[in-house]
C-alpha cells in the first residue's frame, strides 16, 4: 500500500463528488432559468467563498467546505398570508444553506422591481416539480451513464471456462473454519489436472462432448464426478485437443450462496461434502454486457440504496455502537463522504500496485462515484423538507388542492405555503447534520475496510 496510490484514489473520489454536486445543482439551475426564475447564486460547497464569478445575473462560485452545494432561487416560498410581494423569501436547494435563508425578510435584497413574476412559487405545479427533480435526476443520469459505459464497453468481471492456474497436488488436510481451503503439504498426491497435462491458459470448449460457454457448466460436472472419467475439450495455442481426466473424491466445505460464507453445523464446524477435485483455478475476465443489462444493474443498486435508507435509523445505531464501543462496522451500511474517500484510497492502493489491474481499478473507483450518485438520487427523493422530495410534495399538494377546488366549483385556494413546514425542515436538518457528523467520526475512528 503506497501513499501515492492511496492519494490518487482519494483524489478520484473528491473530484467525482465535486462533479456530482455540480451536476446536481446544475439540474436545478437549468430548468429554473429556463422557466424564468431569477437565480442569484450557484455554489459548490458551503462556508466562505474561495472563488466566484458573475455570469449574467448569477454568481457562480466555489466555497470552502466541499460537502454539498446549492442554487439560490428567489421566492421559493410565497409571502405570508396578507403580506405583499416585498415579503418574498429566498431559499436554495442546499440543505445547510436553507437553515440561514429561512427569514422571509431576507429575500428583499434579491427581489428587485420587475422580479415579481420571476419567483419560484408562482411557477405552475409541473414546472416546480421539474425544477426540484432536476437535481436528483441529474445524479440518476450520471450514475446510469457511468454504469452503462462500464458494462457495455469494459464488461463485468466474470469467471470464464479458462484455467488461470493448475494445482500441483491434492490437499488432503481436513478443512477447518480457520483454514477452509487447506494448502498442499509434503506427501500429498499429484492433482489430476497436472497428471493429465492440463496447463494454465487452456480454454475449455466442451465437457464430455457437450459445448460449454460458462465456467459453472465445467465446474458442476467436475464436482459431480468424483472417481469418474470425464473428457475436456480445450483450446491451446490455437489447437483443439481432448484431455481425459478423473477427478479425485475430496471432502470440501459447502458454500452458502446467500451469505458468501460456508455452511456450519450446530457445533460451529464446517459442513463438508464429497465432491470431485481436479486441481484447476478458473480465470476471471471482463465480459461485455448488452445495453439491455443496464436498467437491471441500475435497478439493483437503487433497490439496495433504498433498503439502506429505509433501515437507516437502525443502521445508525450500529454505527454509533462501533464508533463509541466495541461493535463492528457493517461493510454494507452507511458511510460518509470521508468513508467513501477512504474506500477509494484502499482500492487504489491495492489495484494500482504492481500486482493489480490499473484499468479495472480506475473503473472500480468510477463505479464507486456512480453508486454515490444513485444514493444521492434516492436520498433526495425522501419527501421531507429541506430535501428536494419535500419541495416536490409541496408542489404536488398545491396541484391537488387546486384541482379539488376546481372540481367543487370553489375559488382557487392559491399557493401552498410550504414555509409552514419550516419547523419540520429545521428538525430534519439538525438530524441530518447530526448523522453526518456521526458518520464522519465513525469513518475516522472505526472505518469500513475492504481488505481487513
- Identified catalytic residue from 25, 174, 203, 398: 25
Cβ-contact 385, 425 below 8 angstroms? yes
Give the CA diameter of the chain.
93
CA-to-CA dists, residue 99 to 38, 93, 312, 397, angstroms: 20, 11, 23, 23
Listed in sequence order, the residues at least 6 apart from 434 whose beta carbon sits closer than 8 Å to its beta carbon are none
The H-assigned helical ranges of 99-176 are 125-149
Distance CA 113, CA 110 (A): 10
Find all residues with CB under 8 Å of 355, minimum gap 6, and list them.
none
Evaluate whether 129 touches 395 at the Cβ level (below 8 Å). yes
- The DSSP bridge partners found for residue 210 are 207
Burial class (CB in 10 A: 0-12, 13-18, 19+), 303: exposed
Active site residue 85: no
Q: What are phi and psi of 245, to 5 degrees?
A: -135, 160
Q: Return the residue matching grid coordinates 443496464.
A: 294
d(CA 264, CA 113): 75
- Quote the DSSP letter at residue 298: H
According to DSSP, the β-strands at 230-236 and 261-262 are unpaired
- Any idea which residues carry the catalytic annotation? 25
Amino acid at each position: 500500500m503506497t501513499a501515492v496510490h492511496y492519494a490518487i484514489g482519494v483524489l478520484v473520489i473528491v473530484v467525482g463528488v465535486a462533479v456530482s454536486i455540480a451536476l446536481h445543482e446544475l439540474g436545478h439551475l437549468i430548468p429554473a432559468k429556463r422557466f424564468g426564475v431569477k437565480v442569484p447564486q450557484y455554489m459548490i460547497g458551503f462556508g466562505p467563498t474561495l472563488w466566484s464569478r458573475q455570469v449574467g445575473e448569477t454568481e457562480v462560485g466555489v466555497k470552502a467546505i466541499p460537502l454539498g452545494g446549492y442554487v439560490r432561487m428567489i421566492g421559493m416560498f410565497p409571502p405570508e398570508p396578507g403580506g405583499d410581494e416585498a415579503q418574498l423569501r429566498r431559499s436554495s436547494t442546499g440543505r445547510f444553506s436553507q437553515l440561514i435563508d429561512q427569514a422571509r425578510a431576507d429575500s428583499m435584497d434579491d427581489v428587485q422591481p420587475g422580479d415579481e413574476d420571476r419567483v419560484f412559487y408562482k411557477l405552475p405545479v409541473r414546472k416546480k416539480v421539474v425544477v426540484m427533480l432536476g437535481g436528483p435526476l441529474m445524479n440518476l443520469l450520471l450514475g446510469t451513464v457511468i454504469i452503462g459505459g462500464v458494462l457495455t464497453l469494459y464488461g463485468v468481471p466474470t469467471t470464464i471456462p479458462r484455467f488461470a492456474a493448475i494445482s500441483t497436488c491434492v490437499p488432503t488436510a481436513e478443512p477447518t473454519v480457520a483454514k477452509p481451503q487447506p494448502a498442499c503439504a509434503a506427501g500429498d498426491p499429484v492433482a489430476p489436472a497436472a497428471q493429465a497435462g492440463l496447463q494454465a491458459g487452456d480454454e475449455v470448449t466442451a465437457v464430455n462432448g457437450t459445448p460449454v460457454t460458462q465456467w459453472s457448466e465445467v465446474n458442476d460436472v467436475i464436482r459431480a464426478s468424483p472417481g469418474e472419467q470425464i473428457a475436456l475439450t480445450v483450446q491451446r495455442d490455437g489447437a483443439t485437443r481432448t484431455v481425459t481426466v478423473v477427478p479425485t473424491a475430496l471432502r470440501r466445505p459447502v458454500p452458502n450462496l446467500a451469505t458468501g460464507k460456508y455452511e456450519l453445523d450446530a457445533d460451529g464446524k464446517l459442513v463438508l461434502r464429497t465432491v470431485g477435485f481436479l486441481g484447476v483455478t478458473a480465470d476471471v475476465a471482463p465480459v461485455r454486457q448488452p445495453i439491455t443489462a443496464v436498467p437491471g444493474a441500475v435497478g439493483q443498486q437503487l433497490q439496495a440504496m433504498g433498503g439502506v435508507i429505509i433501515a437507516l435509523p437502525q443502521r445508525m445505531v450500529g454505527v454509533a455502537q462501533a464508533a463509541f464501543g466495541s461493535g463492528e462496522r457493517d461493510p454494507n451500511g452507511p458511510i460518509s463522504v470521508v468513508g467513501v474517500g477512504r474506500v477509494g484510497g484502499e482500492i487504489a492502493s491495492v489495484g494500482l500496485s504492481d500486482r493489480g489491474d490499473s484499468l479495472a481499478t480506475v473503473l472500480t473507483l468510477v463505479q464507486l462515484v456512480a453508486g454515490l450518485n444513485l444514493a444521492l438520487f434516492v436520498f433526495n427523493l425522501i419527501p421531507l423538507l429541506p430535501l428536494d422530495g419535500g419541495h416536490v410534495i409541496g408542489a404536488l399538494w398545491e396541484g391537488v388542492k387546486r384541482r379539488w377546488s376546481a372540481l367543487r366549483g370553489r375559488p382557487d385556494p392559491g399557493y401552498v405555503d410550504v414555509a409552514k413546514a419550516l419547523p419540520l425542515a429545521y428538525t430534519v436538518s439538525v438530524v441530518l447534520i447530526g448523522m453526518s457528523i456521526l458518520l464522519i467520526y465513525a469513518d475516522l475512528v472505526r472505518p469500513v475496510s475492504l481488505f481487513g
